[in-house]
Each structure stands twice: as C-alpha cells, then as structure tokens.
C-alpha cells in the first residue's frame, strides 16, 4: 500500500508519462518546455519530479536523449523511440476505452458470482 500522497502521485504519473510520449512523438522535448506544457494541462510538476521521470522513461527505452539547442540554449532533448511509439499506441487504446466508459451514464454492471 502506498501512503496517500504517493498513491496520488503514482496515479497521475501514468497520465503524465502518456503526455510526455505524446509530445515527444511530435517534436524533441526538453524538461522546462514539458513542465510548462504540463502546467497548461493543470499538472504542477517541478524539476525534481519531472527529470527523474524522464530519466526513468529513457532507462525503460521509451525515450532517447540527444544534445541539442532550444530557445538559443544548449538543452538535453528527448526523442521518442520505436518502443515509445508502441507504448503510446497501447496507452491511447486504453485511454480511449476508459474514456468511453467514463462518459457512459453507467459503467458496465459487474458480474456477481
């Protein structure tokens, strides 16, 4: 069991990871720009949280880093990998499925054994 705070954190990390993959799928991303983008969507996430999350996704083979420039500064840029694209496709199917059920008047009735 997670303590309540960590539990909530774990819950939103999944959504944030999907969001990171989505943006990395369209253009190279870097920490600060991703933090601003997430804030736009209502996630307040600081560098102490986002950078370890990005590194974890890199270790998992979902992102790869390359040195680069953004906004006239040297930045550590992240690109999505082939495995990251597959993970994004699977996540999209799951989120679509969940979305449908969330917006139905009632969820499916559970089978009572």
Q: Residues in the site for Zn ion, rule: CB under 5 A?
A: 37
Contacts of 7 (CB under 8 A, 6+ apart): 1
Q: Is residue 74 classed as helix, strand or coil in its secondary structure?
A: strand
Residue closer to Zn ion, measured from CB, 19 or 55: 19
Question: CB 20 → Zn ion: shortest distance, Å?
Answer: 9
Question: CB 40 → Zn ion: shortest distance, Å?
Answer: 7
- Contact predicate 50/35, CB 8 Å: yes
- Contact predicate 44/9, CB 8 Å: no
Question: CB 65 → Zn ion: shortest distance, Å?
Answer: 20
Residue closer to Zn ion, measured from CB, 15 or 68: 15
């Amino acid at each position: 069991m997670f303590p309540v705070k960590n539990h909530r954190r774990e819950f939103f990390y999944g959504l944030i990871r999907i969001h990171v993959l989505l943006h990395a799928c369209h253009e190279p991303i870097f920490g600060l720009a991703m933090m601003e983008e997430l804030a736009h969507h209502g996630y307040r996430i600081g560098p102490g949280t986002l950078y370890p999350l990005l590194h974890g996704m890199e270790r998992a083979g979902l992102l790869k880093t390359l040195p680069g420039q953004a906004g006239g500064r040297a930045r550590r840029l992240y690109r999505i990998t082939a495995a990251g694209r597959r993970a994004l496709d699977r996540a999209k199917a799951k989120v679509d499925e969940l979305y449908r059920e969330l917006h139905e008047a009632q969820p499916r009735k559970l089978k009572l054994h």
